[in-house]
C-alpha cells in the first residue's frame, strides 16, 4: 500500500461521509423556498413563451419584432415596471435553474441507473437553458441588451475558427435537435401528465390539448434552431445560425411557411399557458 492509498475502513468512511453530505444537499434541495422559486420561474417562462408566440404570430401577419426570449424580455424591459420585472425574472429563472439541477442530480440518487441518466440529460439541459434565461434578464437589468441572433452567429463563428470546433458545433446542433425531439416525444407519450394532476373532466382534457400542442410546437421551434446550427457547421457559414428568431422567420421563405409559422406561434402560446398553469398546480 502506498502512502496515497486509503485502507478499506478509510475508503468506507470516505464513502459514508460523501453519502451523508449528499443527503444533506438533497434535503436542502427539497426546501419549500426552492420549490416556490421554481414555481415562480415556471410562471416567468410561461409568460415569455406567450410573448414569443404573440410576436411570431404578428410576424406571420406582416408585423415586426424579435421572436425569441431576448425579444420577449426586451418588451418587458421597456414597460413601466421594467427594472423590477428584470430582477424578478432573474430570480425566478435562476431558482428554476437550480431546481432543475437538483432534479438532474440530487433528487434522482435512489432511482434506477437508466432513470438517472434520462433525468440527467433532460433536467440538466433545462437547467442550462433556464440559467441562460436568468443571465438574459440580468443583462437587461444592468443595461446590457443583446441580440440573441447575433450572439448565436458570433459563438458559431468562434467555434468554427477553433481547432475541433466543427465537430463540436455539429454535436451541439445535434444535441439541440435532440432536445426538440424530446419535447415532441413527451407530447406524443403524454409525459407532461406527470407534472400536473389531470383528470377526465373538461379541464383535464383542455390541459391535455394544451400540453400536446404546446410541447410539439416547442419541440419544432427548438429543433429548427439545432438544424440551423448543423447547416451553418456543414456550410461553414456562421450567418446560417440565426437562433430562434431567424429560424422562425425563415419559415416564411418556404411554401405554406406562413401557415406553419402561425401554427408554431399558436403552439408556443399554448405551451406558455400550460407552463403558467403548471406553475400554480404542478407537482414539484
Range of the domain at 213: 21-281
8 within a domain of the structure (yes/no) = no
15 within a domain of the structure (yes/no) = no
Q: Rounded to whole angstroms, how far apart are CA atoms 127 and 122?
A: 9
Per residue in 69-104, pLDDT (tens digit) is 989 999 999 998 999 999 999 999 999 999 888 887
pLDDT of residue 148: 65
Q: Rounded to whole angstroms, how far apart are CA atoms 109 and 1?
A: 32
Ranges of residues in the chain with a pLDDT under 70 are 1-30, 106-112, 115-116, 119, 146-150, 198-200
The count of domains in the chain is: 1
pTM of the predicted protein model:
0.81
pLDDT of residue 199: 65
12 within a domain of the structure (yes/no) = no
pLDDT of residue 8: 55
Beta carbons within 10 angstroms of residue 160's beta carbon = 17
91 within a domain of the structure (yes/no) = yes
Q: Which residues contact 202 (CB under 8 A, 6 or more apart)?
A: none
Are the CB atoms for 64 and 273 separated by under 8 Å?
no
pLDDT of residue 176: 87
Q: Rounded to whole angstroms, how far apart are CA atoms 129 and 100?
A: 10
9 within a domain of the structure (yes/no) = no
Considering only CA atoms, which of 112, 99, 132, 123 is closest in space to residue 30?
99
pLDDT of residue 273: 94
140 within a domain of the structure (yes/no) = yes
Cell numbers standing for residue 71: 425579444
pLDDT of residue 165: 78
Are the CB atoms for 186 and 178 separated by under 8 Å?
no
198 within a domain of the structure (yes/no) = yes
Amino acid at each position: 500500500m502506498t502512502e496515497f492509498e486509503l485502507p478499506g475502513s478509510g475508503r468506507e468512511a470516505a464513502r459514508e461521509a460523501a453519502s451523508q453530505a449528499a443527503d444533506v444537499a438533497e434535503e436542502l434541495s427539497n426546501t419549500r423556498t426552492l420549490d416556490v422559486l421554481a414555481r415562480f420561474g415556471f410562471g416567468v417562462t410561461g409568460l415569455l413563451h406567450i410573448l414569443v408566440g404573440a410576436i411570431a404570430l404578428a410576424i406571420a401577419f406582416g408585423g415586426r419584432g424579435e421572436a425569441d426570449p431576448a425579444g420577449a424580455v426586451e418588451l418587458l424591459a421597456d414597460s413601466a415596471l421594467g427594472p423590477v420585472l428584470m430582477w424578478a425574472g432573474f430570480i425566478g429563472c435562476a431558482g428554476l435553474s437550480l431546481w432543475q439541477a437538483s432534479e438532474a442530480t440530487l433528487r434522482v440518487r435512489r432511482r434506477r441507473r437508466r432513470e438517472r441518466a434520462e433525468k440527467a440529460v433532460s433536467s440538466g439541459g433545462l437547467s442550462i437553458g433556464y440559467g441562460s434565461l436568468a443571465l438574459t434578464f440580468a443583462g437587461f437589468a444592468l443595461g446590457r441588451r443583446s441580440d440573441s441572433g447575433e450572439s448565436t452567429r458570433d459563438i458559431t463563428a468562434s467555434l468554427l475558427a477553433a481547432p475541433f470546433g466543427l465537430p463540436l458545433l455539429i454535436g451541439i446542433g445535434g444535441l439541440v435537435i435532440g432536445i426538440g425531439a424530446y419535447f415532441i416525444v413527451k407530447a406524443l407519450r403524454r409525459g407532461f401528465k406527470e407534472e400536473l394532476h389531470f383528470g377526465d373532466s373538461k379541464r383535464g382534457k383542455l390541459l391535455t390539448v394544451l400540453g400536446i400542442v404546446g410541447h410539439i410546437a416547442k419541440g419544432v421551434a427548438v429543433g429548427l434552431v439545432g438544424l440551423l446550427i448543423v447547416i451553418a457547421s456543414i456550410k461553414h457559414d456562421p450567418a446560417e445560425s440565426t437562433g430562434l428568431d431567424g429560424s422562425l422567420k425563415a419559415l416564411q421563405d418556404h411554401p405554406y411557411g406562413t401557415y406553419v409559422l402561425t401554427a408554431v406561434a399558436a403552439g408556443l402560446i399554448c405551451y406558455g399557458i400550460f407552463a403558467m398553469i403548471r406553475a400554480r398546480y404542478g407537482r414539484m
